[in-house]
A and B are shown apart, each in its own frame.
Chain A
Amino acid sequence: MTTVTADTGSLSWYEASARQRIDALVDAGSFQEFIGPELRETSPHLSIFDLPEQFDDGIVVGRSRLQGSPVLVAAQEGRFMGGAFGEVHGAKLTGLLRAACALHQDVLILFDTGGVRLQEANAGELAIAEIMRAVVEARRAGINVIGLIGGRAGCYGGGSLIAGTCSRLIVSEQGRISVSGPEVIETNRGIEEFDSRDRALVWRTMGGKHRYLIGGADLFVDDEALAFRQAAIDALRGKRGYDKAVLEAEQKRLERRLQRFGEAKDAVEIWQALGLDAPTEIPALPTDAFLRAAGKRENADDAR
């Protein structure tokens, strides 16, 4: 495992660990962790299920600098328990968002999560609600909360709801955003509704390209840590605040989406309705070509 810093080399965001992502994202050497692994604040609940703990409970939070400016960072580790929110895991993020209010510093959330950790489901569910409230309070105070999505576990369940409260979302093609996962839909509604083994279907329904095209994400980047870094710098320049005007604009935006695409059976129909050239080619396009083809996408602008 090589250490990649913000000023060297290339690192796949998808393949990287939470700690590698932070190292590659923020200014070299600037990260300071809060409640690091040496404090062994592990989940008090996993032992009930005889499951192994992780010293950071699957999330790394701390302070750092991005292009010299202070920024708070949280990164989920998607390989530990699917990056799921448990009591300690969630409370670290809640605390970070409240700290953002106290310090008036922006926040980057590196999502990589399957949602609520079932072994501590009630605590995880409440953590999601507490985090969403803390995000809204931070945004109302003029703090930008940016979500970065492109990890192995995607951004599912309650994680996708938190993402929906963020000021801006940065996504790569690998960054899936969805409330119910493919397997959950198939289990509950049958394979006719959703075939979870049809990977192409999963990607074009929940993947980063589709989310970017319908305005569900604001910046689309390569699966590359430096691309995420540059996008985070850009996203932090976005408009601040959260008020009635933003809420009304989002209502209009989401109503319009239902009017335009509510009858579509598949993502390709939506891309066609958007007026994209060769919509069936979208999944195969490399980033440059995709961004050129995406000119007619729905844009969330400040309606988020």
Chain B
Amino acid sequence: MTRDEILASLFPNGSDIEIANAILAGKATLPDGRPIHVLGITQGQNLGVDEAIVLAGHVIEIIGSQDQAPILILVDSASQRMSRRDELLGLSEYLAHLAKALLLAEAEGHRTVGLLYGGSAAGAFIATALSTGTLVALPGAHPAVMDLPSMARVTKLSIEVLKAKAEATPVFAPGLDNMVRTGGIQIVWDETAPLAPQLATVLAQPAGQDDRARLGTERGGRLKAAEIADRVVALATASHQGVQHG
């Protein structure tokens, strides 16, 4: 689906969204009449310092409005911008700042939903889609940490060998299905049905704990993460009590 088809299917009541340099920002009305903020990075754009600061600024405005309306962030990006200028200026701070803005928005009562409808990779994926409370995707979305040819170069394995290994595990290879199985994406929407009710279903879920590791366990794609994290919490709490009691 194209961006405009997605917006039309999501917001049959219309929307008021502006696009500047592949950054999208505006507002729409949900079928039940409630407002929703819409942000996005589109057209396979790289996420660099200039884009991240603009997106974070929009999030801060939304938090400032105190309207408690949800935020939908559409993502079709490339990776972080790999450039000397971006790193010279401290790209890590800008990406982390955007991530913190989205995480704080959710904590301040704005339900945040990411909609991955194209690509996204590495730092850009973390700072946008993976910093929302709930991440959903459309068929054809293609998240990646690193593309297979680059991965082949770094691991010194051929692409054929990597592809064969990827048959056995969802843990390393790029792709939507793998990101679903490891728990990063909650659900893949049905693009043949209207999107508005599918968004309503997600928005009806309360904001809650980070359940991605648990999803990864249930789906068999990430069997250790939830268990290990829980064990560390249990050990820390137990050793704390041990110390306090003597």
Please say whether the chains A and B touch (CB closer than 8 A). Answer: yes
- Are B99's CB and A264's CB within 8 A? no
Nearest Cβ on chain A to B58's Cβ, whole angstroms: 11
B151, CB-defined interface residue at 8 Å: yes
Report the Cα distance A128→B99, complex, angstroms. 11
CA distance A121 to B85 in the complex (A): 26
Q: Which of B87, B103, B232 interacts with A136 by CB under 8 Å? A: B103
**Residue pair B84, A194 in contact (C-beta under 8 Å):** yes
A-facing residues in B43-99 (Cβ within 8 Å)? 49-50, 53, 56-57, 60, 63-64, 80, 82-97, 99
The reply on A44 being an interface residue by CB < 8 A is yes
Tell me whether B159 is interfacial, beta carbon within 8 Å. Answer: no
Q: Classify chain B: how many residues form its interface, as a range.
A: 35 or more
**Size of A's binding interface in residues, CB under 8 A:** 88
Residue of A nearest to B88 (CB): A205
Task: Flag if A258 contacts B233 (CB, 8 Å).
Answer: no
Contact (Cβ within 8 A) B88 A255: no
Task: Chain B residues near A44: list those with CB within 8 A.
Answer: 223-224
Partner of B92, one of A179, A244, A270: A179
- With a cutoff of 8 Å between Cβ atoms, the chain A residues found around residue B235 in the complex are 34-35, 99
Q: Which residues of A contact B236 (CB under 8 A)?
A: 34, 63, 72, 95-96, 99, 102-103
> At the interface, is chain B mostly helix, strand, loop or mixed?
helix
Check if A165 sits within 8 Å of B169, measured CB to CB: no
Contact, CB under 8 Å: A123 / B228: no
| B230 and A95 within 8 A (CB) | yes
Known: A88-B224, A91-B213, A136-B104. A118 touches B145 (CB 8 A): yes
Q: Chain A contacts of B231 at CB under 8 A?
A: 34-35, 95
Residues A91 and B56 in contact, CB atoms below 8 Å apart: no
> How far is A130 from B229 in the complex, measured between Cα atoms in Å?
10
Q: Is B222 interfacial (CB-CB < 8 Å)? A: yes
Cβ proximity bits A135-177 to B, threshold 8 Å, 1 near / 0 not = 0110010000000000000000110111111000000000001
Complex formed: what's the CA distance from A63 to B240 in Å? 9
CB nearest neighbor in B for A140: B107
Which of B2-10, B17-25, B119-127 is the contact stretch? Answer: B119-127
Kindly supply a per-residue 1/0 record for chain B positions 153-194, scoring 1 wherever the CB is within 8 Å of any chain A CB and 0 otherwise: 111010000000100111111100011001110000000000
Do B126 and A158 have beta carbons less than 8 Å apart?
yes
CA distance in complex: A165, B94 (Å): 10
Q: B residues engaging A (CB < 8 A)? A: 49-50, 53, 56-57, 60, 63-64, 80, 82-97, 99-101, 103-104, 107-108, 122-123, 125-127, 130-131, 145-146, 150-151, 153-155, 157, 165, 168-174, 178-179, 182-184, 210, 212-213, 216, 221-233, 235-237, 239-240, 243
Which residues of A are at the interface with B, using a C-beta cutoff of 8 A?
32, 34-35, 41, 44-45, 48-49, 61, 63, 70, 72, 87-88, 90-92, 94-96, 98-99, 102-103, 105, 116, 118-130, 132-134, 136-137, 140, 157-158, 160-165, 177-180, 184-185, 187-189, 193-194, 205-206, 210-211, 214, 216, 242-244, 247-248, 250-251, 254-255, 257-258, 261-262, 264-267, 270
Instruction: Give me 25 A-to-B residue pairs in the complex whose CB atoms sit less than 8 angstroms apart, sorted by A's number.
Output: A48-B169, A49-B155, A49-B165, A87-B222, A87-B228, A88-B225, A94-B225, A98-B229, A98-B233, A99-B233, A119-B155, A121-B146, A126-B216, A127-B225, A129-B131, A133-B131, A164-B100, A184-B82, A194-B84, A214-B89, A242-B100, A247-B101, A254-B94, A258-B50, A266-B88
